[in-house]
Amino acid sequence: MRAVGFRGNGGVEVLEELDLPEPVPAPRQVAVRVAFAGVNFAEIQHRRGEFGAPDGPGGVDIPGLEVAGTVVALGAGVSGLALGEPVAAYLPAFGVLKDAGRLREGEDVLIHSAAGGVGFAAAQLARELGAGRVYGTTGSAEKIPYAAELGYDAVFLREGFAEQLAEVTGGRGVDLVLDPVGGPIREQSLTMLAPFGRLVAYGDLGRHEQWTASVWDLWKGNRAIAGFNIGDLARRAPEQIGEYLAEALRLLAAGRIRAGVTETLPLAEAAKAHQLLETGTGRGKFLLSLG
């Protein structure tokens, strides 16, 4: 089995291409021959050591949450899947919007990292779920034109976004904020929540120090902060992931949303994909091909 993994934490230089034994699925598991693997920021955090030192078999960790491929082996007790069946895993935007964010029809949304893979999907899904106005932010001015094509009503540079958002909303703010950035951006976002508003934290791209939210700020306006972690959800409630994916595939098949793949690289160039994502110089979604 071809894979990319790491034996120690660090920069992209710790990634290495590996040839590993074919996995044997345990009960209620399946083995998938991966054709494409997505790259997301959680894998960068994993590689850097933010989730701990490598503790996989033989001291090697294989990062990755997003795959598309074909079922090649079934563990005991598996139902609803067959050998040779195409499968895919992972779609965080649905969970962030529907479950953690509890988006309701007509509500206004602010999506940070609007030009990223989740931002690409979230803008479209927010529309499908009946959102009112959808705003976005990007970390650089160069990404604003790209993000603006994704269906946002307005896209702001992340630095100074709060003032611009306050202006276009007449000081009301928004009902829902999706934030993978953290730090000062998260603090400012909390001030942009309308009464009954929710902020969903689903990452910490900036590796910021922790901050403390005032209970008074939440209590007095019936505001809330929620967390969303797709990896933890997959372990605790895998059936929920299946529901997200089924709905996403239905919308894709109907042409109501589109995938945001901007670059496909061979597996051997996994380090390049990590670097593009980690430095913020890329946009959209990166795939690694195992073909």
Burial class (CB in 10 A: 0-12, 13-18, 19+), 36: middle
At 74, give phi and psi (nearest 5°): -120, 135
pTM of the model: 0.85
Examine residue 278 and state whether it is found in any structural domain, yes or no. Answer: yes
pLDDT of residue 262: 80
Indicate whether 228 pLDDT > 70.
Answer: yes
Is residue 215's pLDDT more than 70?
A: yes
Residues 152 and 269 in one domain: no
Please indicate, yes or no, whether residues 199 and 152 belong to a single structural domain of this protein: yes
CATH value at residue 138: 3.40.50.720
**18-27, 96-105, 273-282: which range is least confident on average?**
273-282
Res 90 pLDDT > 70: no
- For 3-15, the pLDDT digits (tens) are 999 999 999 999 9
Task: State both tokens at 174.
Answer: 């928004």
Asked if 195 contacts 221 with a C-beta cutoff of 8 angstroms, the reply is yes
Domain residues for the domain of 165 are 92-229
- Cα(146)–Cα(283) distance, rounded to whole angstroms? 8
Tell me what pLDDT residue 283 has.
Answer: 79
